[in-house]
Amino acid sequence: MIIRRRLAAGACTLLAALTLGLLPAGTAAAEPASGEDAPKVELTLDVSGSMRARDIDGKSRMAAAKQAFNEVIDAVPDEVQLGIRTLGAHYPGENRKVGCKDTRQIYPLGRLDRTEAKTAVATLSPTGWTPIGPALLAAADDLKGGEGSRRIVLITDGEDTCAPLDPCEVAREIAAKGIGLTVDTLGLVPDTKTRKQLKCIAEATGGTYTSVRKTDELSGRVNQLVDRTADPVAVPVATEGAQECAQAPRLRPGLYSDREKFGQHRFYRVDVSPGQELRASVSIGADRAVHNDYGVLLRAVTVHGREVVRGSEAGDGRTDVISTGLRYPKAPADDDDKDAKETVCLQVSNSFSAPASVKTEPGLPVELTVDLVDGPDDASDVASFGLGRGWWLLGALALTGLVVGLLWGWLSRLRDVTGRSY
């Protein structure tokens, strides 16, 4: 799911978010042209034995979940394809190996038949284990295909009981595939361990975590997430940067996601026409424990390695994301060369490091924004002002120092002469 916190994407994201906030719940977006591109949601519900606990509005967690599901099913926008998957709903025994495979899709993903979906939910009864990791893998497989937005909404009251398949690592693997799948998690009356695990799952995929203690909180939040899937703010396109510019993927204007290891360099190529201005920004998320002192560098270089402009940012202490950006205007060309494009290589680097116990795979989540706009009338003015070349600042400081020195010397001499005259 990664940050508003970006130079080019921030304004667009904020505007889209405000637009979503102004729309009433349940407002439907335009229906997609084909079923393959329809927004998809898989509600993944924990039906383990602990869901018998009666601590939500005086009734069991299972009863609260069923009521919330019925309300959500009634409000699902027509264009959304909905599926329902359970974990721990069918095997009541003590065989851990069997219990950790207990996940089933009780309502197939597709256009919603509200009566059938409610009937499938009504039959559920708290039963067995809590195989969150296997359920996430299966749900991701259910949602594969198509270009529309995809979301897993995981609802559970406890942490996974099927380690060593860590659900947080599963979520990171899903994110590393670059399929644009978001996992949102909701914890029913969660304890500290459950809260920590569900937060990790959500953060790994750019999703959200919500703690729930009342039935209306559950139905309201799930409804909100389904509506968000129907009308998403933005879905980054997965790409994979290269270690050298020559092998780098060629990007068009848009929002892209990638993964970058600690201290790694990644290259991407953008074609800039005469008279255009390249605007790029990058954000790198710290989705695991990292050392203090870190930074991110975004450079625009020629295909021969000469730096054109750079942007950088550094920090110290706890962070979730660090961002920087740059602008590069290409001067207008003569009529003979007006169609000549320049290939600009964007280099993304980071200086994150981590303790030896922290896993480095997959890499840190990267979100890159690329935009091409009409350049200014005088591109040289913009290119040399505040974009990392530094020569204008050095010259200005030198000239200022010279003028101040001359004035100070002249005033000192005048003071000496005036003093002797008295």
Query: What pLDDT is recorded for position 393?
Result: 54
In the predicted model, is pLDDT for residue 10 greater than 60?
no
Give the residue extent of every domain in the chain: 33-230, 237-383
Candidate from 123-132, 314-323, 333-342, 346-355 with smallest mean pLDDT: 333-342
Dihedral over alpha carbons 372, 377, 381, 386 (to 10 degrees): -30
- Yes or no: is domain 33-230 CATH 3.30.413.10? no
**Residue 392 and residue 405: Cα distance in Å, rounded?**
20
Helix (H, G, I), strand (E, B) or coil at 204: helix
The token pair at 234 is 């933005």
What is the predicted pLDDT for the residue at 183? Answer: 94
The closest alpha carbon to 347, from 389, 391, 306, belongs to 306
Question: Tell me: the pLDDT tens digits for 41-97?
Answer: 999 999 999 999 999 999 999 999 999 999 999 999 999 999 999 999 999 998 989
CB 81 within 8 A of CB 146: no
Per DSSP, the residues of 9-25 read HHHHHHHHHHHHHHSPT
Q: What is the pLDDT of residue 335?
A: 61
Structure tokens given for 84: 């329902």
Spatial neighbors of 409 by CB under 8 A, at least 6 apart, are: none
Nearest one of 161, 126, 120 to 54, comparing CA atoms:
126
Six-digit token pair at 243? 């270690």
Task: Give the CA diameter of the chain.
Answer: 108
Would you identify the CATH topology of the domain 237-383? Jelly Rolls (2.60.120)
Residue range 389-413, pLDDT digits in tens: 444 555 666 677 777 777 777 776 6
Query: Can you give the pTM of this predicted structure?
Result: 0.54
- Residue holding tokens 């195989």? 131
Under DSSP, is residue 372 helix (H, G, I), strand (E, B) or coil? Answer: strand
Indicate the average pLDDT of the chain: 81
